[in-house]
Amino acid sequence: MYYTADGVDRAQLVEVYPRHRAYLDEFAKGGQVQSIGAFLNPGDVGSMAVFRSREAAESFIEKDPFVVEGLVGRHELREWEPLEY
């Protein structure tokens, strides 16, 4: 989960988004992203992604332009065990 840094406005998120999206698209080719997206009000609460492993999440975060360019104030990694239907 990403939480937007204090003082970051929507214009800054929109400016960096193309770099974030290009990075995400390239990273996702490896099959390690299960799902990703912003909450309804991303400027206030951020976004969430589900990766196939903790290592994939850590690798993604390390070079994500949203993180590198200071738009993410903090992130949280949580272990999750989904039920299969």
CATH code for the domain in which residue 35 is found: 3.30.70.1060
Q: What is the 3-state secondary structure (H, E, C) of 15-84?
A: HHHHHHHHHHHHHHCCCCEEEEEECCCHHHHCEEEEECCHHHHHHHHHHCHHHHCCCEEEECCCCCCCCC
The pLDDT assigned to 65 comes to 98
Domain count for the chain, please give it: 1
In a domain, 85, yes or no: no
**Higher model confidence: residue 9 or residue 60?**
60
Q: What is the residue range of 24's domain?
A: 2-75
Least confident of 1-5, 18-22, 64-68: 1-5
In a domain, 81, yes or no: no
List, for residues 13-46, the tens digit of each pLDDT value: 999 999 999 999 999 999 999 999 988 875 566 8
